[in-house]
Chain A
């Protein structure tokens, strides 16, 4: 039905280095743990607002967290 997203991300790596669990990150950006899992796995592209919030929580610029390959 839907194509997997081409947006790749380093959320898992950055989240673990920040010592955050999926549930903690989810709570801080206002989504469910399942959504964080789907974003990390590249199954779901987050909204722009959620992407900015993730980058803010992980204290990284947006393009360091997400990448859209050529």
Chain B
């Protein structure tokens, strides 16, 4: 497994764990609470800080463990695989943004519009990671 594969796997797992917990809380107790707007904002900021810190920490550990691979130049397959995966994530993000616009047209609460957008972003990122990992495993 190359360094970029390990990095992608780590980021995808972190996203699933951190935002899995975020959505478990937001769609459960937070959605039912009277001050859901304030509660979700705090939770979103906390999830973002947690994800950033865990990503930085895990990449430091990865770079120490796989020092030689981490310092190697980018491979010629990397941009091609990234391009294909970003195209897929772009479609998912566009669908999510469209869903947010539809919710706004239907006068949905800002809370639900925000959750639709966050979900679209997380799904787009996770799909991008999975797509990259599958392409690296397949060889192309």
Residues of B in contact with A (beta carbons under 8 Å apart): 1-2, 72-73, 75-77, 84, 135-136, 138-140
Contact = CB atoms under 8 A, between A and B. Distances in A.
B136 A34 contact: yes
Given A32-B2, A34-B2, A2 B140 contact: yes
Interface size class of A (residues with CB under 8 A): 10 to 19
Q: Is the interface of B mostly helix, strand, loop or mixed?
A: loop
Interface of A: 1-2, 4-5, 30-32, 34-35, 37-38, 41, 43-44, 46-47, 50
B72 A32 contact: yes
Q: Is the interface of A mostly helix, strand, loop or mixed?
A: loop
Given A1-B84, A32-B2, A34-B2, A47 B139 contact: no
